[in-house]
Amino acid sequence: MSGMAENRTRTAREKAAILLISMGRDYSSKVLQQMSEEEIEQLTVEIANVRRIDNQTKSEVLREFGEACLAQNYILEGGIEYARDILNHAVGQQKACELIGKLSTSLQVRPFDFARRLDSTQILNIIKNEQTQTIALILSYLAAHQSAEILSALPHAIQTEVVSKIAHMGKTSPEHIREIEKILEKKLTSLGFNDLTHVGGIETTVNILNSIDRSTEKFILESLESRDEALVEEIRSKMFLFEDIVKLDKLSIQRVLKEVNNDELVLALKGVKPQVSEYIFENMSKRLQEMIKDEMSIKGPVKLRDVEEAQQKIVMAIRRLDEAGEIIMARGKEELID
């Protein structure tokens, strides 16, 4: 691609490269951070092949991108038909069909997307009398903070059952999703997937429980533990990751470090993000900093399994101290005050 002024149909990848170049280094780098390694590699090749971009080409790509963003926002607001109706008035029927056609092949609107724009109390009033399996499915599609608020407001008698069903949920057929959507048809636009969709699972459960208040979380996990100890252990292992140590206040991290074996810390800090290691070093003495850094350099390459085991031991120590009330961990929307 020696130049971009020639009159020909450009591929989506070429347009993406032009768009990133037009956005400038700072913005384009933020966009690339959200992509997979394969996508970054492909786009980097395209960008490297660009020699020049004339103003007309740049304007066309930017205009097309702007129109696509507008159409996508309309779809997210009210669905395909809503977007089509708005775009018909805005850019004409032919252009609207073109935009919708392009997005429909790639954009999948999540079922129950309507609920993301509703208040949690409204959603609760809609679903509170549904079966626990139905409630679990709907909460799996909501934002974690919404699901947490709704779960907290549900009767204790069904909270544990709902969390259990979310955690064990795997693939859900689009037919089943649409059936539930019809039950709630007064409140939503029926949207579905073409393929089996992964929903729920451990990650969804962790996101919800991380956003919920402590007393509800404690009740749910303790109740769930009596029926599925292994599941609860898996959930707990993912609720606080080693990298989350930066969320601890200074007094708490200093308390944690007193519980940590230096050899474990040396292993745990291998390969972590700079901000994590820097935060930990900031909360120890200069002498200990130097000793840990020296041991890390002497130790050389280590097995990933050993690093993960050391990090998990520290996470377990953090959890024990938190449960004992000896440290403070901000959770969900909680804020720490002096």
Taking each helix axis as running N to C, give the angle between helix 229-239 and helix 156-168, from 0 to 180 degrees, rounded to the nearest 10.
80
CA end-to-end span of the chain: 59
% of residues, the chain, pLDDT over 70:
71
Architecture of the domain whose range is 242-323 = Orthogonal Bundle (1.10)
Q: How many CB atoms lie within 10 A of CB 287?
A: 8
What size, in residues, is the chain? 338
Tokens of 135: 């409630």
Residue with tokens 């090749």: 45
Q: 25 burial class (0-12, 13-18, 19+ CB within 10 angstroms)?
A: exposed
Q: Do domains 113-238 and 242-323 have the same CATH topology?
A: yes
Local confidence band at 256 (pLDDT 50, 70, 90 cut-offs): very high
Task: Find the mean pLDDT for residues 317-336.
Answer: 70
Q: How many CB atoms lie within 10 A of CB 292?
A: 19
Residue type, 144: A
pLDDT score, position 81: 62
| Closest C-alpha among 232, 243, 213 to residue 330 | 213
CB 145 within 8 A of CB 172: no
Tokens of 173: 């057929």
pLDDT score, position 93: 77
Local confidence band at 203 (pLDDT 50, 70, 90 cut-offs): confident
**Predicted TM-score (pTM) of this structure:** 0.39
Residue extents of the structural domains in the chain: 12-104, 113-238, 242-323
Tokens of 36: 């997979």
Local confidence band at 18 (pLDDT 50, 70, 90 cut-offs): confident
Local confidence band at 4 (pLDDT 50, 70, 90 cut-offs): very low
Local confidence band at 144 (pLDDT 50, 70, 90 cut-offs): confident
Distance CA 32, CA 125 (A): 41
One DSSP character per residue, 180-197 reads HHHHTTTT------SS-E
The residues facing 203 across adjacent strands are none
> What contacts 239, CB < 8 A, 6 or more positions away?
206, 209, 210
The residues facing 198 across adjacent strands are 171
Local confidence band at 281 (pLDDT 50, 70, 90 cut-offs): very high
Residue 169 has pLDDT above 70, yes or no: yes
At the topology level, CATH places domain 113-238 in Annexin V; domain 1 (1.10.220)
